[in-house]
Amino acid sequence: MQKSMLYPRETNCRRVVSLDGMWKFQLDFSSSGRTQGWECGLPNPDLIPVPASFQDFYTEKDIREFTGDVWYETEFFLPGEWEGKEAALRFGCATHRAEVYINGKKAAVHEGGFTPFLVPLNDLAVFSSFNRVVVIVNNELSNTSLPCGETKLLSNGKKISKPYFDFFNYSGLQRSVKLILLPKEAITDFSVDYRLQGEDAFVTYHTITNGVHPVMVKVYDEAGVLVAEANGNDGVLTIPKVRLWEVRNAYLYRFVLKILDQDKILDEYYEDIGVRTIEIKGTKFLINGKPVYLKGFGKHEDSDIIGRGFSAGVMKRDFECMKWIHANSFRTSHYPYSEEIYQMADREGFLIIDEVAAVGMFESLMNFMEASTGKHTAFFQKETTPELLQNHKEAIRELIERDKNHASVIAWSLLNEPETTDESAVAYFKEIFQYAKELDPQKRPCTFALIMNSLPNTCKCYQFSDFICLNRYYGWYLKGGYEISEAEENLRKELDEWKAKNLNIPFIFSEYGADTNPAEHKLPSVMWSQEYQIEFLTMCNNVFDCYDFIQGEQVWNFADFQTTEGIMRMNGNKKGIFTRQRQPKDAAYYLRERWASLEDDKKVKLE
C-alpha cells in the first residue's frame, strides 16, 4: 500500500470505520515495556478516551508531567468481505512519534506528532477476526524533534520535558484513529491549481494512482449539477461562469474522481474544493485579484480536559466566536491542526496561514523573554542540524501533501520564532524555503514568524519570505505598564527601519498581546488587568494604521491556553481575547468593533 495523505472518505469502493472511544492505556514509568513484551498486550492498563491528550484526565502530577513512552491498546474486527482489498489503520496523529504493533508484530513507525500516517494491515492482521493493535507514543523533546526542546533526568530518576516553546507539551493519540479499506488499484494523491479568465475558471488537476487504468474527474456545484468533466490522470477542467470561493463567503465544488476499467469502477474518491486564486502583488494580498486585510488570531488546539485532542464541539464554538468578532483569518500556531478544522474553514470562508511544527528553534526555556534582551543562540550550528533538517523537510512534505487542496490555506509558515541572527541559519532557510515551493502545486506564499531579536538590522533570513510575519511584544515583555509610551516609540522605530528597506511586500503582525486575568479590573490600569489589555491593543492598532505595508493583524491569542508551569505563567498563557472556556474578555468587544469597521481593502483606501 502506498502512503497517502488523502482524507478517509466512504464511497462505492472505500470504507471507513472509526476506532475512537475508550482504549487501554499504560504509562511506562520504568521504560521496561519493550523488554517485557507489552506489544503483545498491556499488563496493567487503565482506560482512556481517544482522541485526546492524556495529561489532564488524572489528578497525579507524575502523570500530567510524564515524559517517555505512553502505550495504547485496542482491538478491531477486520471483516472477511474486505479480503482481497487493502486494509489499513489511519492515525490522525501520534504526538510526537509512534511505533505500531499489529498482533504483536511491528507494523509501522512515524516521526512527527501532527500529521497522519497509514499502517498497512494485510500482511499482519487476520480477516474475519479480531486483531490487537498496540501503539507506543513517545513525547520526548530534543534538538532534532519538531517542536524542539530538551528531555532531562531529575535526581529522582524521572524524565522531564523542557520545551523551547511556550505551550504545554500535550501528547498521545490526539486525533481520530480509523480502520479504512481501499481497493487494490487506488487513487493515492490529487491536487489542483486554478487560472481565472473572465467568468470562467480553468482548473489544472493532477492525480496519482498505483495502477494502470485512467482516471475520470467530474465536478459538481453545490446543487449537484455537473459543471465540468475530463478524462486522464492529468488535465484541465473548465468551469464556466464559476462561483468563486471568497473570504467569509465560501462556495465549494465537489470533485469526484473514479478509476474505470471500461464500465467497472475500480476506485472512487471525492473532495469539496473552493476555486480561488491567491497572490501577492506589491504590499497586497490578493484573493481572486482583490485585496484582503487579514484580521484574526494566532490560535492553539487547546481546551479543558482533552488538551490538544480534537473536539468537533470546541471547533464549532471557536468558529462561532471568530465570526462574532468579525475575524477572517488565523494561523495554525504552531503545528498543523486537525484536518476537520481546515474543512470547516473551507466551509466558513476563513483564511489560514498553515504552520509546520518548527517551533523552538531558539535555544531557550523562556524564549519569549530572552529574545527581547537580544540573546543569540546560533541554533543551526549544532552537529545534529542535518538530522533536524531532514525531519523538518519531511514535516513540510506531509503538511503540504495533506493540506494543498484547501481553499482556506493561503500561505505556508515554515518556522515560528527561529534564531536568525547567526549566519548558519541562511543555508538552512534557503533549503527549507526552496523545498516548500517545489512541493506546492499552487505556489502559495511562504513565510516564517520573526522573533523579537530578528530585527531589520540583525535578521539574516527575512529575504526568503514572500511576506513578513512579526511576533512583537513592545508594551508587554519590553517596556510594559507605564513605559508603554516608550514601547510605542520602539515599535514605530522598528517599523520605520523595515520601511526604509523598501521590500515592497506585505507585513502582518502574527503575534502581539498582553496577558490578562479575566477577573482583574483596575483603574488606572496595571499589567494583567482587562483595562491594560485594551490599552495595549489600542496602542498597537494606532501604530498599524500608520503603515500601509502592514496588511494584517493576528492577535496573540484567540483563547487562553496551557503552558509549562513557571513564574511567568499563571496556570497557562493568559493573552487570550477569549478565556480558555471561550467566553469574551473586555478586549473582545473592543476588537469586535474595530474589525467590524475594517473593510477587507482598508489598506488600499489609505493610499
Catalytic residues: 417, 511
Q: Cell numbers for 312, please give them.
A: 468537533
Distances (CA, A) of 487 to 157, 163, 494: 45, 28, 11
Q: 3-state class of 520 per DSSP?
A: coil
| Distance in angstroms (rounded) separating the CA atoms of residues 98 and 70 | 9
Please name the amino acid found at residue 585.
K
CA distances from 15 to 135, 294, 394 (A): 23, 39, 28
What is the Cα 479 distance to its own chain's centre? 31
Strand partners, 182: 86
Closest to 96 (Cα-Cα) out of 60, 77, 70: 70
Q: How far apart are CA 143 and CA 147, in angstroms?
A: 9
Residue type, 34: R
* Per-residue CA distances from 467 to 134, 381, 446, 559 (Å): 44, 26, 7, 25
For 412-438, the DSSP string reads EEEEES---SSTHHHHHHHHHHHHHHH
**Grid cell of 334 as nine digits:** 504552531
CA atoms of 481 and 531, how far apart (whole Å): 11
- What number of other Cβ atoms are within 10 A of residue 357's Cβ? 27
First vs last Cα of the chain: how many Å apart? 55
Q: Which three cell numbers stand for residue 489?
A: 516609540
> What are φ and ψ of residue 379, in 5° steps?
-60, -30
Q: What are 87's strand-pairing partners?
A: 181
Which residues on neighbouring strands pair with residue 528, listed in sequence order? Answer: 516
Contact of 401 with 439, CB cutoff 8 Å: yes
